[in-house]
Amino acid sequence: MLEKNMNIVNDAFKEYYFKHFELIHVPPRPSEREFGYKKFNEGMTRHLSVKDVKELHLLLMTQVPSDVYCSNAYYSFPNLPMSEKDWKGADLIFDIDAKDLKLDCRASHTCCRCNSCQNIVKQGISCSVCGSTKLEMVSVTCQNCTFESKNEVTRLLEILTEDFGIQRDEIQVYFSGNEGFHLYVINSNYQTLPSRERADLADYIMFNGIIPETLGMNKQNNSKSTLPDVNERGWGGRVARELFGSKSKRGKIIQAILSGGYSKFQVNLEDLRPKMGVKIDSKVTMDVHRIFRLEGSLNSKSGLSKIVCKDLKSFDPFSDACLLGDEKIEIVANCPISFKLKNKKYGPYEKEKITVPKYAAIYMICKGIADIN
């Protein structure tokens, strides 16, 4: 980030942590967790121990981090190197990101920034100014991205509560501060689950590796097959509802499935996987040593807050997580795409001098599509 941009963003972040420290929530058992942070234009500092909220407040005000992190894991010695921490368990965490949903709308709100000369192009494989092919994708999130991400969250909540018996009050849902949502499972029997078993759990949620036998098909003798009913719990019922639609159609469709044979049914199940499976990042779920963005902290990719979603349906990240000030700032915007913050539309801009509220200026600077004039 350019120094002139870094200064204004740094000041905005410091003001935020001074005014909104009540939003920063230290998770349970903080003295057993590893903390870390980044500063603008600097690398990661981690393996830190924070005892309480006062110590965290001091860190935020003295260091003014661009990003603040906390481990999902509990350790006996969180400030020691990883091999010496003595892992005791970890919260189960899921990440749903709009960019992984492969939505058609992405093309309309994505552009490219040249890493060589910083020029912005709407589309292309090379920079129109310097010819470099080192282009970085820049995307702003739209309402459709948020809507579809919420749908994934809802489906994940259904599986966690119905299939795994996790109580709803043991699951916390957060907006990540940029393009997605984090789900935390706390105080559950899954805390001591090792990485491999978490990977299996993620595969189940993503509908990976399901085979016809799982749904009652007998490979050797079709007459002994007992395909699921629409009222069954778990994937059996979900697949039945997808295939049959209703009980009245079940018999006829089952006959067609059995007539088609095992291999065809296996292909049909694989075709259903992108539609049926919840699109989580499995690497996040299986990582028992990962550090995650701290609740209430700012995301340096957007200037938006990572914030709890008390009511997922009504939650609007473009307003509810947009908490920087509204003082006017003059910037030069090179933003060929449009976006909304606090119900106001911004862009497109082509190397234009504009005066916008601080929250919009910081958002564009963090995205790399504007500079301080």
What is the chain's alpha carbon radius of gyration, rounded to the nearest angstrom? Answer: 24
Alpha-carbon dihedral angle through residues 294, 171, 313, 325, given to the nearest 10 degrees: -20
Q: What letter would DSSP give residue 51?
A: -
Q: Give residue 321's Cα distance to chain centre.
A: 14
Catalytic residue annotation: 95, 97, 281
Q: Report the SS3 class of residue 225.
A: coil
Q: What letter would DSSP give residue 305?
A: B
Which residues have CB under 8 Å from 147's CB, separation 6+? none
Strand partners of residue 41: none
Give the H/E segment covering residue 319: helix 317-320
Residue 218, phi then psi, degrees to nearest 5: -95, 115
Token pair 């995301």: residue: 299
- Closest C-alpha to 46, from 67, 25, 19: 67
Q: CA–CA separation, 50 vs 162, rounded Å?
A: 36
Cα angle for residues 62, 67, 71 (degrees, 5° grid): 105
Read off the tokens for 123: 């589309």
- Strands 92-97 and 180-185 come out as antiparallel
Q: Are 298 and 357 in contact (CB under 8 A)?
A: no
Residue 317, phi then psi, degrees to nearest 5: -60, -30
Token pair 């481990």: residue: 71
